[in-house]
Structure 1
Amino acid sequence: NNNAVSILLVSPLYISGKDAEEILPDALLNLISGLGDGKGIIEKEIDCVLSDGRSIPLEVSAAELKDEKEDFLGHIILFKDLSEVRSLRREVARSQRLASLGNLAAGVAHEIRNPLSSIKGFAVYFRERQEKEDDKQIAGIMIQEVDRLNRVVSQLVELARPVSVSKKPVSLSTVVENSLKLIERDASEKKIEIKKIFAQKELEILLDTDRISQVLLNLYLNAIDSMENGGTLTVELLEEEGGAIIKVSDTGAGIDEKDLLHVFDPYFTTKRTGTGLGLAIVHNIIEAHDGKITVASRAGEGAVFTVFLSGTGRE
């Protein structure tokens, strides 16, 4: 079956004459081994680890195959790749969380910003009237913390609102170059090398420059944060049918496999001081561009964020 060999990443020539134990992933073998316990048909969703190390979800129906004398002939297994289904489920769940977040954000923004404005006003007032340097520093810290809270509220509101974009044909390499200039100092201080691999052909893409710059800056800063002892930040531009691809990779700590499905969820973060809103906003911006963003990583092996932007040429 062509679909089966495609899903399981095996060659039709390789499987000819082979036993099931030599072909099927362990998860499928464990499933059909339970058929010997008198179970007629087993129907189950399982996760299978393939030969390339990837894990994919499968919907499986398995049964013993017998002849008219009830003598055992073998097994028949029907399975379907549920990767797209699971992806859709996650997107629906994410949309539902964002809808709830929108209702919360509207109230929080109003109730928090007004008192924050008063607190900041008094802090500025006291700082300007203090003679002792220590007292001025304390007032300054208060102002910084109020500004930080205001930024969190702004992120919360931005995440809850539909993202508006104004697309224009722009040189993608120019956008990337300009955004990299913003983090050169941070990278240098942490002994991080910036490596650029650009497509030979100039890629002109319909995009919102400010929004995509916001996306790239977020990805760069996350990469820099993950490389505490220096490393390499690599940015690649690739031509793709119907658009272009930007890859941002690092040689940092990487992301645990169990966390990969949640990196774009609101409030999910592994940082001690992170809000968990940055990548959620990034995801929304790319969606507003009719694009797609994915992440691949293993703990200790760095991370690769891949952004696909559609829309070449003119508006």
Structure 2
Amino acid sequence: MPLAVRMVVLVAFTAVGAAAATAGLAAWMPPWPAALLAAAGCGLLAGLVVRRTFVPLRGLIRALTGTVASYRDGDFSFGISWDRYGDLVELVNAHNQLGQALREQRLSLVQRELLLDTMVQNTPVAMLLLDPGRRVVLGNLAARRMFGNGRQLEGRALDELLGEAPAAVGEAFARGGDGMFTVGDEDHEEIYHLARRMFRLNGRPHELVLLRQMTAELRRQEVQTWKKVIRVISHELNNSLAPIASLAHSGAELLRRGQLGKLPLALATIEERTRHLEGFLRDYARFAKLPAPRDEPVSLARFIDKLRTQVPFAIEGVVPDEVLRFDPAQMEQAMLNLLKNAHESGSPPEGVSVAVRRIADGWRIDVLDRGGGMNEAVLSNALLPFYSTKRSGTGLGLALAREIAEAHGGRIALLNRKDGGLCVSMVLPGQA
């Protein structure tokens, strides 16, 4: 029976019992004393019933209070059994269902934490979590091997760990931000990538440090690059040496037969192929031995005018009469490479143009053409060394221009134009 119904029935029975007792006692005593005596008797009986009802209820309230305190402390192993008063049975069942849901969530959370900890501890990337005082909160197994000889790192100061690590590690941290550094000598060289990220944990700033060993990956990339270089050089050498050898043999035969009329043509062809080979090797040497830029004041307008004397192109807008600091020889080589590519793109000569304008972080020089443009695959690889879609291309023109731009603190970007053609943008820092 629900508790509210039980209380209503108790009050009704008490009132009816008091009235009946008053009527019975009125036959032996005056009405008022009979009424008081009946009320006292029925009230005492009702109090005993109420006490008997609420003593278990007090126990239930204490049990609910205790389980709530256990939930607050993270202990979800408690449950309550109750089979009295239908409305309170519903409350207890809901409380037990809450405990079951919290237990399942806690178990799922523990399993996820275990999975995450297993992944963090066994990843080959060394991970350090630092608190605001630059002390280690968490260090995985890779970090222990790198900094602590397998010992735990929690609680130790980062400066202490860096003091025990190779000097290159401390220098990489001192530079700040992300970057790559090398540990060891030439015979036992290890290359690492350092990444640092800031975030807030429990309202406090923390830093996550990731140290990834890149030696094997870079070695594979280096081998692939060398293979590609060897293939390109071998192909170009064969294309030149094979006709040179054939023409030399033919020239010897012509000389032996006394047919000297065709000999100049053979010698001229040999000279042409030799000069082509010389230029090819010179381009590779220039790319491999690009010196540091020697900056000097250069007028933009005069620089563009000088380029127009070597290769034709139109000028969009007006070239600002500004003076920048860069290496004019290197920048001229980069621009000539870009203009040469624009003319070789299939664009009409009048479709090749140059635009110069000021931007927020420097100056932007655009080389524009109306050729066939580039698809996505070519755009993503065009700036890589030795990548070329031309049959006789070396893949060094754009790569050399990119190398020169980055040596000056700038960058190069490629973008297909809306109405056809390509836009190659060289951005230079704005030091005037």
TM-score under structure 1 length normalisation? 0.54
Q: Which amino acid aligns with 1:167?
A: D
Tell me, yes or no, if the aligned pair for 1:163 and 1:285 is still in contact at 8 Å: no
SS at match of 2:352: strand
- Whole-angstrom CA distance in 2 between matches of 1:161 and 1:229: 34
Which one of the candidate residues 287, 299, 304 is aligned to 1:159?
Answer: 287
Which residue is 1:68 aligned to? none
SS at match of 2:351: strand
Which of the pair is proportionally richer in strand?
1
Which residue is 2:322 aligned to? 203
- Whole-angstrom CA distance in 2 between matches of 1:209 and 1:171: 10
Tell me, yes or no, if the aligned pair for 2:410 and 2:427 is still in contact at 8 Å: yes
| Distance change >3 Å, CA 168–CA 133, structure 1 → 2 | farther
Tell me, yes or no, if the aligned pair for 1:173 and 1:198 is still in contact at 8 Å: no
Instruction: Give the Å deviation of 1:133.
Output: 4.2
Which residue is 1:307 aligned to? 426
Which one of the candidate residues 299, 304, 307 is aligned to 1:176?
Answer: 304
| Distance change >3 Å, CA 170–CA 163, structure 1 → 2 | same
Q: Which amino acid aligns with 1:158?
A: R
Pairing 1:246–2:374 present: no
Pairing 1:278–2:397 present: yes
| Distance change >3 Å, CA 166–CA 142, structure 1 → 2 | same
Which residue is 1:147 aligned to? 275
Tell me, yes or no, if the aligned pair for 2:386 and 2:396 is still in contact at 8 Å: yes
- Whole-angstrom CA distance in 1 between matches of 2:363 and 2:372: 27
- Whole-angstrom CA distance in 2 between matches of 1:279 and 1:300: 23
Instruction: Give the Å deviation of 1:155.
Output: 1.8
SS at match of 1:308: strand
Q: Which amino acid aligns with 1:194?
A: A
| Distance change >3 Å, CA 144–CA 276, structure 1 → 2 | same
Q: Which amino acid aligns with 1:197?
A: G
Which residue is 2:413 aligned to? 294
> Map of 1:1-315 to 2, 5 A cutoff?
97=222, 101=226, 132-184=260-312, 194-199=314-319, 201-227=320-346, 229-297=348-416, 301-313=420-432
Which residue is 2:179 aligned to? none
Tell me, yes or no, if the aligned pair for 1:266 and 1:277 is still in contact at 8 Å: yes
Q: Provide the aligned C-alpha RMSD in A.
A: 3.7
| Distance change >3 Å, CA 237–CA 98, structure 1 → 2 | farther
Larger Rg computed on CA atoms: 2
Which residue is 1:75 aligned to? none
* Structure 1 unmatched ranges of 5 or more: 1-88, 185-192
Which residue is 2:124 aligned to? none
Q: Which amino acid aligns with 1:303?
A: L
Q: In the TM superposition, what whole-angstrom CA distance separates every residue of 1:62-103 from its partner, at most 9, and x where no partner exists?
A: xxxxxxxxxxxxxxxxxxxxxxxxxxx9xx97xx6599659x
Which of the pair is proportionally richer in helix?
2
Tell me, yes or no, if the aligned pair for 1:231 and 1:252 is still in contact at 8 Å: no
Tell me, yes or no, if the aligned pair for 2:365 and 2:427 is still in contact at 8 Å: yes
| Distance change >3 Å, CA 97–CA 284, structure 1 → 2 | farther
| Distance change >3 Å, CA 242–CA 203, structure 1 → 2 | farther
SS at match of 1:293: strand
Instruction: Give the Å deviation of 1:230.
Output: 4.9
Which residue is 1:52 aligned to? none
TM-score under structure 2 length normalisation? 0.40
